[in-house]
Amino acid sequence: MNLAWLKRPLPRGLYGRAALILIVPIVTIQLVVSVTFIQRHFERVTQQMTGNIVLEVDYLLELVNTAPDLATAQARLMPVTGPLALQVALPSGEGIIESRRFYDFSGRQVSATLHFWLPEVLAVDLGTDIRRVELLMNTRHGPMQVALSRNRVSASNPHQLLVLMIGTGILMTLIAYLFLRNQLRPIRQLAEAAAAFGKGRSVPYRPRGATEVRAAGHAFLDMRARIERAIEQRTLMLSGVSHDLRTPLTRLKLGLSMLEPSEETDALLEDVADMEHLLDAFLAFSRGDALDDPEQIDPAELLQRVVDKAQRSGQNVHLRALDPTGRVVLRPKAVERALENLIGNAVRYGNRAELSLTVTDRALRFTVDDDGPGIPPDQRPLALRPFTRLDEARNQNRGSGVGLGLSIALDIARGHGGTLRLGESDLGGLRAELVLAR
């Protein structure tokens, strides 16, 4: 059974779902108690109280109908109306019509009970004055009007319990929501800290709340500390490896430069240069986006700066229209490095590159289009792997890449909570989209 239609209107946030879990039982209890109260109070109690009045009014009818004339009937009514707290007019001076207010549920039961037990009743007026009940009855000596207090046929203020119950329910719901918000705030803070860490930012966080939430918070802090130590140790280790390898490479390069120039020494010097380039690329990939700290920057200005730098170096790079945006928290040097790698790949395998920036509420998308040969769709995931060179897809004679440009850009994007997507360019080549979370 597909219940997808039922999930669509339900709230998605934790606050909304918790409030729904809290409110639904309260409303259900209110409805059940209200229906039961209305049934018992407005029907049974009202019937019983109205039945007592039926006996008194029936006694008056008997006195009037057994009297030989009107004067005798009036004389018989005078000594009994006072003790019975009834106001009687015989004959009736004014007409009474059947009336009741729409919200008067007990009045409906009063009218029905009087008409059922007293066939002589012509009309029951409950709407003219909500505090009085007026009856118009047919007697032997003409119509008779009887008036009595409404409190004698139904309980006074019958809606008090409903109003009190609803008001108390609303008050308790608000109090429970305040307590619930205090319990959910630590969960939201934990989610914000985890989301920020996924975007490459480390925000202060202290576990609070219930025991389970505190346990999750301490586990997150331990995990974040281990990841940060692992990144730091990786960077330090590779920096040390780079330093240790550069020393023998420098001695080797110096020794080769002291030899007589020849084709063999030139080839060896080229190999040493390739090794240095490979070592620099490997160290850059290992460091990832740990080049600088996050700061508030304007992405449009950053992209303009990257394009200007590429144009000054003689690269055929152009900037398309930019979406207006405010300042965003990014690692500027890391993002510049990712864009420079994408531009380098674009101009290495194509003749020109065009850049653009698209801004949404949740992400930034830097797009680099080139007119090169592109990459087949089935080989694009492979192109994102480190040290991968697609000889069949890209012309490797047009550069000295080591297969780390896209991998570095992807690593930086993931450090900002985003990704790197490869697709078809409208220039006929490859489109690389660097997506960063805001």
3-state helix, strand and coil shares in percent for the chain, rounded to the nearest 5: 55, 15, 30
Q: Which residues of 374-396 are buried (b: 16+ CB within 10 A; e: fewer)?
A: bbeeeebeebbebeeeeeebbee
What is the three-class DSSP state of 351?
A: coil
With a CB cutoff of 8 Å and minimum separation 6, the contacts of 436 are 330, 335, 363, 364, 365, 366, 413, 416, 417, 418
Q: Residue 106: how many CB atoms within 10 A of its CB?
A: 24
Integer angstrom CA distances of residue 150 from 78, 82, 85, 387: 22, 17, 12, 93
Report the number of secondary-structure helices (H) and strands (E) in the chain: 12, 11
Q: pLDDT tens-digit profile of 385-399?
A: 776 666 544 444 444
d(CA 408, CA 386): 8
d(CA 160, CA 164): 6
Burial of 107 (0-12, 13-18, 19+ CB in 10 A): buried
Q: pLDDT tens-digit profile of 360-385?
A: 888 889 999 998 888 888 888 888 87
Contact 141, 77 (CB under 8 A): no
How long, in residues, is the chain? 438
Q: pLDDT tens-digit profile of 86-128?
A: 999 988 877 788 998 887 878 888 999 999 999 999 999 998 8
Tell me which amino acid residue 80 is: V
Burial of 362 (0-12, 13-18, 19+ CB in 10 A): exposed
Block means of pLDDT (10 residues each) for the chain, 438 residues, are 60 71 79 72 81 92 92 91 91 84 83 92 90 92 92 71 76 81 83 79 82 87 84 71 73 78 79 74 59 78 89 87 76 87 87 88 88 86 74 46 73 84 88 88
